[in-house]
Amino acid sequence: MTQTSPTEAPAPQGGAASGVMDATRMGWRLMRSDFWALWVVALVEMLIAAAAGSVLGIFSVILVVPPLAAGMFYVVARRIDGGPAEVGDLFAGFQKRFGQSVLGFLPVSLASMVFAMLLGAVIAAAIIIGLAVAEAARGDEEIAIAAVILGILAVLVIGGILFIAVQVFTLFFEFVFPAVWDHPESGWAAAKASARLVRQHFLSVVGLVLLFMVIGMAAQLIGMLACCIGVFFTGPVVVVWQTATMIYLYRAWTGRPGGAVADGSPPNART
């Protein structure tokens, strides 16, 4: 793996992706091109997000995670265009696209909150009903056991349906963070641009999400086998890899010029 010399600008890693697998291969090559610099940026992002979550709780998902993710896209896009990967650029989302990233990601933030509340309500309802049935059974163990089993099944089924519904909904906002750099006028414009892009390439986006879901699970398993601290190594790798892959796809599907996503310059054509 190569590391960028402090006196030399890294070579551009551009080019147009022809599909999800091609973009994934390009993302992998991009990560390897400047591995340690990109890894450090992604690790800092993960640590900041974790610290914000411990302090702000659910509000970190609204106020910290979106501009932080936008900054990560900024860093990787600059690297694709031949610029250096610098930790300081991770905060570009706060400095240049705070409102746009927060507003653009708001539907996902709200959907996550609604899912958590509904799942909590379902679990609470299952417990209350189960206790009521057990009380009515008056010591009949078979009925009590059946009530517990049915309650668990109900939670699993309803929870699964809610989870799938939320995942399908949030799928349409997969490209919000690269879009905010092309749509400085409004976070809603970035959200709509992402939704349009996903509608046009829906099956490909589903494949992309499933692919990195598998990669992420494998990376987490490998990291946990290394005394759990390995996740601090494998996690940033997946973050950089997926971010680069999404930028390559975004540029290929929108026909964006090379530097538009990286520096937020006015686009020639909106999606």
Give the chain's domain count.
1
Does 14 score more than 70 pLDDT? no
Containing structural domain, residue 54: 20-116+172-263
- Whether 11 contacts 33, CB under 8 Å: yes
| Assigned token pair, 131 | 């206790």
DSSP codes of every residue in 130-195: HHHHHHHHTT-HHHHHHHHHHHHHHHHHHHHHHHHHHHHHHHTTTTHHHHHHH-TT-HHHHHHHHH
In a domain, 85, yes or no: yes
Lowest model confidence (mean pLDDT) among 7-16, 187-196, 247-256 = 7-16
In a domain, 12, yes or no: no
Lowest model confidence (mean pLDDT) among 22-36, 110-124, 181-195, 249-263 = 249-263
In a domain, 110, yes or no: yes
Among the ranges 6-10, 24-28, 116-120, 155-159, which has the highest mean pLDDT value?
24-28
In a domain, 183, yes or no: yes
Separation CA 46–CA 87 (nearest Å): 12
**H helix or E strand, kind and range, residue 51:** helix 35-56
In a domain, 250, yes or no: yes
88-120, pLDDT tens digit by residue? 999 999 999 999 999 999 999 999 889 989 999
178-213, pLDDT tens digit by residue? 999 989 888 999 999 999 999 999 999 999 999 999
The upper half-sphere exposure of residue 205, i.e. CA atoms within 13 Å in the direction of its Cβ, equals 21
100-135 exposure pattern, b = at least 16 Cβ within 10 A, e = fewer: bbbbbbbbbbebeeebeeebeebeeebeeebeebbe
In a domain, 67, yes or no: yes
In a domain, 98, yes or no: yes
| Assigned token pair, 29 | 């090559």
Does 260 score more than 60 pLDDT? no
pLDDT at residue 36, as a whole number: 95
